[in-house]
Structure 1
Amino acid sequence: MKSEQKKTVWTVAGGAVLFLLILTLHPALNRAGDIGAMSALYIIAGWLASALGFAIFAQGWLLFSSQLSKGRLYTSALFLGVCVFDLLHTLGFVGTPFISHLISRDQSLWLLTLSRLVSSFGILFIFGGEVSSTLVSAKNSVLRRALLLTAVTLAAALSVFYMFSEALNSDAGGGIRTFLNVAALMLYLLTIGFIVYPRNVEKSSSLLIVIRSLVFLALSQAFYILGEEQGAVDLLLGAFSCVVAYYLMLKGVYRLTIEEPFFEERAVKEQINHLAYHDDLTGLPNRRRLLQQVDEMIARHAASSLRGYSALSVLNINHFKNINDSLGHVAGDSMLQTVALRIGEDIVHGEELFSMGGDEFAFLMTDRVSVESCMTRSRELLQMFDKPIELDSSEYHISLSLGISIYPGDGETAEQMVQNADTAVHSAKEQGVDIRRYTPLMQMKAKEKLKLENDLRRALERNEFYLVYQPQIQLSTRKLVGMEALLRWQHPKRGLVSPAEFIPIAEESGMIVPLGEWVLKTACRQNKEWQNAGYRPICVSVNLSLRQFMQPNLAGKIEEFLEEIGLDPRFVDLEITESMTLDKEKAFEQLQRLKDIGVYISIDDFGTGYSSLHYLKNMPIDRLKIDRSFVSEVLEDSNNAAIVSTITSMAHHLKLKVTAEGVENEDQLQFLRQQHCHEGQGYFFSKPIEAQEFENAFLRSALYGMPS
């Protein structure tokens, strides 16, 4: 582009210098000129100009007919007429037999003036504005109009020549012709101004070539004007300037209307193709490209007689969702880019990194000598992240899980290899290990998990869920003060499915939201039924999932169905986990909305997650529930005893209630009473039991508050 700009500047400067030089040497050139030689050169220049004009027309009609623009069609039509006028002018001017009887020398000069005037108006019209596209079907109609206009103009011009020949050949006629030639010159210069100045953007190389063509057209026109007064040398120089101008116009129009659209279309296709096979965020090849590469790898193995191994590793960033939620999506995107860059910098021949979307990457390694070398390289990938990642001037330690499938052995197609490696990485995450190689047993478990998910989606409609209740006991009096509602699933074929098995699946699939709503509504209805039966009112505790808690309309929905049931909100205790408070601002707003409707808030499994005195002090919560893992070994492990004692003491100072989970024997109970723990819950008092058994065992018992 810069070279084209330099050429354009040099063309303008050179044209101006040439014109001034000719003016200076004009008398000597006229004396030295040979009329016969000049006529021959003039004919040559005229034929060249006409040929180039026809070439401009031809390229617009014959090349790449599927890529048309109005500028291209109009330019072609314009130069079809111009080349006819130029050819007739040349033949008439040099006195060609037969033509000279129809067109005299003076009339040929009028044809030249007419040609320049038409071309200057046409070029101004075409290049003075924006070029738009047109339909291919419009091509023939434009050609017909151009031919008709050329014929009508030529016939009209010849008629005028014969009717007013004396007036046109007079001094007044010469003055008019000079005026029209000057007008054409001004229009050429005006077109240059329209191209250069109105749009403050960098000009394409094609437009710069068109500008150079216009410079030579203006120079040619200046020589023609000079030739009217001073002689044939100027006309000859004007003719050859016109040849250069037409050549540049041919080249510029070709680039502008044919070559540039072609390359732009190809660039767009390449961009679309790149987007189809690459991840937009990291720039890495995507899953579609990965499948192609694995297919090629399998084909090479099949065609080769050499023995070797190739492997596909799928890497997943652990706890990426928590990172994304706590630091924000911008930081999450930056982390993905950093991970991609760190692995990418260590890639050697025979390896390639891919993005699988989200927080997953795939690493393909080929031509390995053994299975162990594949496993060793995979371990090296994980070791890259022993060093922390820097984000926003802070360092963060992350870990990755990796699943690997090795060919041959772990799949026969690209889809199988990718699926099996993905299955292996999810197995690694579930097992809490860094790396797992695919085994068929994993696939069986994955299918079983999928079937369980499908059954889970239908279980709510089929009323396969039910609630059990575990009592919460005041430790100082051993009286019932509350109960926790817990979900159970009675599968028609599998029998009782453990919550530890189906709750994670419900969370992954999103089923946890409707399930959580069902649990909350069912527990509240049961509590209201017991109150209506005359039992002393107690509080029912219900766990909220993260997805439930993040619903912006959660408080409104709870308030609505509590009004519908008729249950006072003070008999509802919502349990959340510490991880739900990572985003302090959102958590505080949600908790405040819940507190405004009158329910209680408890932090469940306290001490196992993101503990912060800051959120305990500021957030609207009522109770801490000490996790069972601390209570179960409180007498055997002094550290656990210290933790329980510290949590209890801290809660008292913050005026929060404390409930200990997992109480299993009298000794644990006594220790908790010594620490002034308010309430306890566990098998020592009762396992979770169904509603009717809970009513019989606790609500009817005088010991636990049965009214007289």
Structure 2
Amino acid sequence: MLHPVHIMIVEDERIIALHLRKQLERLGYERTSVHTAGYDALKAIERDPPDIILMDIRIDGDIDGIETAAGIPPHLMIPVIYLSAHSEDATLARAQKTRPYGFLIKPFSERELHATIQMALERRIAELALRDTQQRLSLAMTAAQMSCWEIDVATRQMQRTGLGSFSHLQETETVTESWDDFLERVAPEDRAMVRKAFTYAIHNGEFYDIVFRTIDEERGYRWLRARGKLFPGDRNATMRIIGMTQDITDQRHTQDKLREAMAVYETTQDGILILDPNLKITNANKAYYRITGTMPQSTLQHPPYFLAPEELASEQYREMYQVLHNHRHWHKDIDCNSAQGSPISLSTQIIGVEDDNGLLTHYVAIVSDRTAIRQAEQELHYLAQYDGLTSLPNRLLATDRLNRAIERCEPRGSIVACLFLDIDDFKNINDTLGHAAGDQVILIASTRIKAVTDRTDTISRLGGDEFLIIRENMQSETAAASLANKIIQELERPFYIVGHEMTLSASIGISLYPNHASSPQDLIRLADTAMYAAKDRGRRTYAFYESEMTENATHYMTRSLELRRGLENNELVLHYQPQIDAKTEQMIGVEALLRWNHPKHGLLGPMEIIPIAEQSGLIVEIGNWVIREACTQARTWQDEFGEKIRVAVNVSARQMQSSGFADTVQHELALSGLPAEFLELEVTESMIQDEDAMIQTLHDLREVGVSLTIDDFGTGYSCLRSIKSLPIKRLKIDRAFIKGIPDNSDDVALVDAMLAMAGSLGLQVTAEGVETRQQHAYLRNIDGMELQGFLFSKPVPADEIFVRKDSAAKFHKSV
């Protein structure tokens, strides 16, 4: 033994106890303790448990030796040997209930005592070892959420060890219940299956494995897996089914989630790839093969073909690897071809997956087919930028190209020429030969203009019979005049149409940058003015714009000083134009529009204010004043009338470019007390194309909580490719497109295309410039549409807005 055996003697006769102690010492037991009363012995056991107890039955105190033995904590497993002169049946029966390790009748020999002690100690060692084994087994079964059970086939009694209940994870030694009681806890849908497995085991004696559910009042159903087998009868002829049950609820839930994930993986419209750390495909779903037209044999164990080095530029390929290495996430829109050679547009993102230690294990790539969206964007872009008859750029695109030509020529100081061409007496052609013939004439004119101009020139159809020719790096006014003459002479060559020989004449007005104007709009306007001068001179000729620079400069300087004084003297005011819900016909918002109470000229509109403010640098100060005034007025309406309507404010490019503009807006909202959701800021398309700082300002404003709207939508050039990523909530269709509906098929097509795009991107829409009942009737049936225009109300002062609201309601009733 590793330590001296501690023997406790419980004996009230001191002489006998002393004699017994001496005997034990002679037998080699060095450590003994003696107690005369039961309570004393139990207290001593708590402090220093002995290895074995020699217990007299009749001892001092309130409890005898048998009762003392019964009070020993069972987990200590201390062997008790009774030493007594009494062996009556009643005494033996009582003693037997405490499961003693021996019973020696006094007097006894030392050999007998020694043998009894040794056998008790050996038995204790074996029982301790068995207990440890059972505990380990019990802990292992608990950890595995398992229980061991057996069923007596004859009595249908069930004993279970390990988990006490199939529905409650509690530990117990052994649970006994009937087979029928157990079935009551099995889910009704699974009882027949469990009965069948039980019957099968009885008749065939073979192993079975079933999964079923039990009812858990606290946590609902629990999933169990039971495995068992029939064992033949022992000497008592008892047939038993013995097996194990495991709680697999967590596994089942995990499997369900995996099945759900697999269903999503296989049914999603996006292609999903699993890539190894070298970007080779280890798995791909059906959508990927459908999108790309590839096959598994050419896909697996290869990188995605559209990411191959021969597809991506070497710089892009290195960038992709670097981004994935540093950030574990890469995204790019890729235009490529399918396996069949058809052009496709893919939005691809790759996400790295790491293990618990942060080590890369694989990548997941998501490939979205954007081909249809890209085609729709291109078609919409084409409709918005090109003339449907001649395929020439329209006014919007021509204006943008003119702006770009000015930007290129400005650093070099070279000349940009604008030639505004109008076919003479074109109305007569339409009236006499019909509009179809007129369209053919327009096509012939566009072909002949292109024939005598350079490939780098921009030839656009502005509408009707009006064309604009833009040439940059013009050498002189003489060169511009020569180009105009060539065009006029080319148009004069005879041609045949619908059986008639015809010739065309044209009048051309010319404006030059920087001689006459510095903005595209002004150049076009001045060239248009010069064209009318050419017509006044007899047609079939050209005319240069005659500069009014001195008069314009004087006018600008005067108005700039007046505007600054007007801002200081509170001459600026806001008028508000209602915005109407097309369905409910209720006013849900207003647009704040700037007016100037000029001391001499009366009420002036934004066209007399904004250009001067832009050029003088006052635009930021005035723009901030507009935001402050509009927010304060909207809050006043809420407080006085309980009307929580949205107020829209136009912001300029300089405001958006100013540092901390989002903070300025947040500050004005806080001062006025207006919730951010009731302020809408309107920006134009040209302000947000390829301007990283401007786009960041849009995101900052969205964080403030205000709504963002693209004003004059359709008049820009390059916003369409990025609008999906901008925090824009609303599009305002420019009045130029609304003006022609419902009679102008081109305008109807453009508006329908814009609405379709807005709907697919989840954007709200406002139509500007609604001035006729026909326009109202066409637009009112479009879901989510809001309307704004003179049909409902002109811009009015703040104190008239709710009067206009009532008037608008009466108007709708009459309509």
> TM above 0.5, one fold?
no
Higher Cα Rg: structure 1 or 2? 2
**What TM-score results when the alignment is normalised by the length of structure 1?**
0.41
Greater fraction helix: 1
**What TM-score results when the alignment is normalised by the length of structure 2?**
0.36
